[in-house]
Chain A
Amino acid sequence: MDKPFAITLDPGSSLANHTGSWRTFRPEYVDRLPPCNVACPAGENIQAWLFHAESGDYEAAWRSLVENNPLPAIMGRVCYHPCEGGCNRQHVDAAVGINSVERFLGDEANKQGWKFAPPAVATGKRVLVVGSGPAGLSAAYHLTRMGHKAVIHEAAPLAGGMMRFGIPKYRLPREVLDAEIKRLVEFGVEIQLQTKVSDVQQALQDGFDAVFLGVGAHIAKRAYIPAGDANKVLDAVAVLRGMEDHDAPMLGRKVVVYGGGNTAIDVARTAKRLGAEEAIIVYRRTRDKMPAHDFEVEEALQEGISIKWLSTIKEAGESDIMVEKMALDDKGFPQPTGEFERIEADSVVLALGQDADLALLENVPGLVVEGGMIQVDGGMMTGHPGVFAGGDMAGSERTVTVAVGHGKKAARAIDAWLRGAAYAPAEKHEVATIERMNPWYYSDAPKTMRPVLDIIRRQSTFEEVLGGLDENNALFEARRCMSCGNCFECDNCYGVCPDNAVIKLGPGKRFRFNFDYCKGCGICATECPCGAIRMVAEEN
């Protein structure tokens, strides 16, 4: 073969040189668990639905969301969003407004009339769900998805449980609640109203294969307060429930609420909206000890509610009450001081917590009740085989979100139990902490604030206090998600490799390493924004 002067060898490509043999560490693509998902009591895969919302495909986002939670429009209003407390973005600027995007998706679904995908093949199994609160609705929804027939028995004339009879309208408009319940009914969940279950044992013999109990906790706790005949001492549960009747409860011009939880706040804000000139919360400890969420306390104070800290009610007279001041002792417990004060009050509302009504369980053998709560195992099953429970009657943290989570978990366990299998939760990935990420790559983008109703209307009407985001804002907010721990195909690994050893597989298919040439430098892992690559030592 003729070659130019002084050339003796054919030119060759460096591809013959497999530099992968230099490697001592190898990169691996991993999926890590985002902290929002870890924090969500309802077990939502938040990052997965945000991923669809980021590209503007809101229906796909909503469908991904409702795989775990059938009540996004409700959740986007009443959830205390522990997800945002977990969000890694708070270490960059401020947490992603997950709750506001969830509400946008829920409202969009109601506006567009999106329906749930039809359930899987019918199994022929029937499950009785007692109570139509968030736990019951969630359990019934998931059971229906799995092909079982779920029948809800509800003692009240309307469905929704505490979402209807406990949460004020200014936080959860009833048309939103009705829309999401209607979608569940259309999906195949049967709700029998004004049907009180008084004997669970009987139900099990009446053709049901399993029972889920979600009766909630709606018996108000009492405190002994000596009261004159003419004084009005009411309980918070009755007041909030009364709001759903034709005639609103008569509370008078000066209302005192006794307690420090979210219910106390709800009642005080309701009283103000009913026209009370003064709504005063009396609580025996300090603000930082208050079980109510801080933002709710803040909103109440904005609306002109006053709070008397470190105070207990000693007696209730005809038009006033006697309050004793307290002082915290060394251990932080309030102790009486012997100092008294009189406060004008037309009525006193007790918001001291609630107990579950467990009367329907009296004949069921094997059940264990401790501290007023029914005891369940890891799959929400009570001591009686085939009887499951969740929501306020089975949990110490009583929120809508926890109840929805209970319902889902119980449905999975019931499904396993009906098939004669044991419920085994899926294994979880390691958590995507901010230390495992490279936040440099995320654009600076401050959190979008939701519109808030003006103060005058908040003091006089039951209009919703917190507004929703419009599409632009919701899209912006969704795109603030950093996709912690899971590849979002930013092409960084593909671009930053000095050895072209990352193969791009195309949209939705992510990437693969070419270990013939990967030298194991680790730049891809360091420069991966979301922490989806880890370096592991090569063997030998």
Chain B
Amino acid sequence: MSFQPVKFYQTGTFTVGNRLLPPEERSVQASAKRYNSINSGHRACQGCGEALGARYAIDAAMEAADGQIIAANATGCLEVFSTPYPETSWQIPWIHSLFGNTAAVATGVAAALKVKGKRDVRVVAQGGDGGTTDIGFGCLSGMFERNDDVLYICYDNGGYMNTGVQRSSATPPAARTATTMAVGPEPGNVFGQGKFVPAIAMAHDIPYVATATVADLRDLEAKVSRAMEIRGARYIHILVPCPLGWGTASHDTIRMARLAKETGIFPVFEAEHGEIKSVLTIRRPLPVEEYLRPQKRYAHLFGKNPAVETIAHIQALADRNIRKYRLEARQGSH
């Protein structure tokens, strides 16, 4: 396991920092001198999970690569809110690609650096779930298959949010979007469709695949720095709640990510060469209803006639995750 939680120091490693820990054991985000790779003044919505996740991840990558990072960025929220020409929030070399070719652009940058003999400059590709799981999937699979030296980070908020919340192949079942309205006999996104790209990435047998959420900073940072120790194709899939698309309060972004992990809706694990090496186990087990109820995209499941069967179906999917990834709380575990 790449991340050893520290206990018994009041908050241990649950919080961002901890005055009782030696500085070298504190998180990158706790440092007053962190990179702030994505700077203030960006136009993300209040409480944006993606803006937060991007800073967590890229700051950690910058720390690991000693500030030598080039990022390729797919079209999407992250690009739109950070870089309306001629302004940018990025404090790193940053290339805006098309919606679907970020992985290919990053591959090209990596090839150019190889030709120039600059081994110390590392390449990161990043995009949302639309650019990754739908539009850019061909390029991504190619990058995996060729084992190009790129860390690809997907910020998954479950839909095309900046164009008005449309469904993507990462939109969870039963969720309402502009293209899966809460009408008809089976309101919301249908069950049995969509894909879980981390599992597909693992099927490519690439050196490193991990999932993370913005609710577990220490785990996220450990995974990014582990990925940066490896050469070849690496994939990190980060769950980033979206107050706009999910219909949640702006202050609940981290809470929602925590609930997704604690209910088993979103499995947090890491895998090397197609094999799972560690999982974040559930600390306080909760029914999925706790996660669904605060989100307006699931509002049609509740109210006067709750959709008991649909909720049970989602619970069954979460239970399957818990079985499949062995997420159940264990004695003495995190």
Chain B binds chain A: yes
> Footprint of B on A, CB under 8 Å?
9-19, 22, 54-55, 440-445, 476, 479-483, 488-492, 494-501, 504, 506-507, 514, 516-517, 519-523, 525-527, 529, 535
Q: Is the CB of A491 within 8 A of B85?
A: no
Q: Is the CB of B39 within 8 A of A13?
A: yes
| B252-278 contact mask (Cβ, 8 Å, vs A): 1 or 0 | 111100100000000000000000000
Q: Which of B207-223 contact A (CB under 8 A)?
A: 217
Residues from chain B with a CB closer than 8 A to the CB of A507 are 19
Return B71 CB to nearest CB of chain A, in Å.
Answer: 15
A491 CA / B17 CA spacing, docked (Å): 5
Q: Is the CB of A441 within 8 A of B87?
A: no
Among B7-15, B195-203, B224-232, the one that faces the other chain is B7-15
With A443-B11, A491-B30 known as contacts, the answer to whether A13 contacts B253 (CB < 8 A) is no
Which residue of chain B has its CB nearest to the CB of A19? B41
A-B contacts counted at CB < 8 A amount to 162
Which residue of chain A has its CB nearest to the CB of B30? A491
Q: Is the CB of B16 within 8 A of A490?
A: yes
Indicate if B315 sits at the interface (CB-CB under 8 A): no
With A443-B10, A495-B17 known as contacts, the answer to whether A22 contacts B46 (CB < 8 A) is yes
Return A27 CB to nearest CB of chain B, in Å.
Answer: 10
Among B47-55, B141-149, B163-171, the one that faces the other chain is B47-55
Q: Is the CB of B88 within 8 A of A14?
A: yes
Which of B18, B46, B87, B249: most chain A CB closer than 10 A? Answer: B46
Return B254 CB to nearest CB of chain A, in Å.
Answer: 5
Indicate if B107 sits at the interface (CB-CB under 8 A): no
Task: List 19 interface pairs A-B (beta carbons < 8 Å), by A numbering.
Answer: A9-B85, A10-B86, A12-B88, A17-B42, A55-B20, A441-B11, A443-B12, A444-B7, A479-B8, A479-B9, A488-B19, A495-B16, A497-B52, A506-B32, A517-B40, A520-B46, A521-B47, A521-B250, A523-B251
A36 CA / B29 CA spacing, docked (Å): 32
Q: Is the CB of A11 within 8 A of B88?
A: yes
Q: Is the CB of B16 within 8 A of A491?
A: yes
Residues from chain A with a CB closer than 8 A to the CB of B44 are 498-499
Indicate if B27 sits at the interface (CB-CB under 8 A): yes
A503 CA / B306 CA spacing, docked (Å): 45
Residues from chain B with a CB closer than 8 A to the CB of A480 are 10
Q: Is the CB of B86 within 8 A of A500?
A: no
Q: Is the CB of B15 within 8 A of A498?
A: no
Return B259 CB to nearest CB of chain A, in Å.
Answer: 11
Q: Is the CB of B52 within 8 A of A496?
A: yes
| Candidates B40, B87, B217, B250; contact of A501 at CB < 8 Å | B40
With A10-B86, A495-B27 known as contacts, the answer to whether A441 contacts B15 (CB < 8 A) is yes
Indicate if B43 sits at the interface (CB-CB under 8 A): yes
A506 CA / B32 CA spacing, docked (Å): 8
Known interface pairs A54-B10, A55-B20, A525-B251; 10 further A-B residue pairs with C-beta atoms within 8 A, sorted by A's residue number:
A14-B39, A19-B43, A480-B10, A490-B17, A494-B16, A498-B48, A500-B55, A521-B48, A522-B249, A526-B252
With A9-B85, A498-B52 known as contacts, the answer to whether A16 contacts B41 (CB < 8 A) is yes
With A499-B42, A499-B51 known as contacts, the answer to whether A494 contacts B17 (CB < 8 A) is yes
| Candidates A10, A14, A489; contact of B89 at CB < 8 Å | A14
Residues from chain A with a CB closer than 8 A to the CB of B255 are 526-527
Return B97 CB to nearest CB of chain A, in Å.
Answer: 16
A379 CA / B133 CA spacing, docked (Å): 71
With A491-B15, A492-B15 known as contacts, the answer to whether A522 contacts B40 (CB < 8 A) is no
| Candidates A490, A504, A516; contact of B11 at CB < 8 Å | A490
Return B15 CB to nearest CB of chain A, in Å.
Answer: 4
Return A423 CB to nearest CB of chain B, in Å.
Answer: 37
Q: Is the CB of A496 within 8 A of B89?
A: no
With A490-B16, A499-B51, A521-B250 known as contacts, the answer to whether A442 contacts B11 (CB < 8 A) is yes
Q: Is the CB of A522 within 8 A of B251?
A: yes
| B40-83 contact mask (Cβ, 8 Å, vs A): 1 or 0 | 11111011110110010000000000000000000000000010
Residues from chain A with a CB closer than 8 A to the CB of B310 are none
| Candidates B16, B40, B55; contact of A492 at CB < 8 Å | B16
Q: Is the CB of B87 within 8 A of A16?
A: yes
Indicate if B36 sits at the interface (CB-CB under 8 A): yes
Which of A18, A483, A496, A519: most chain B CB closer than 10 A? Answer: A496
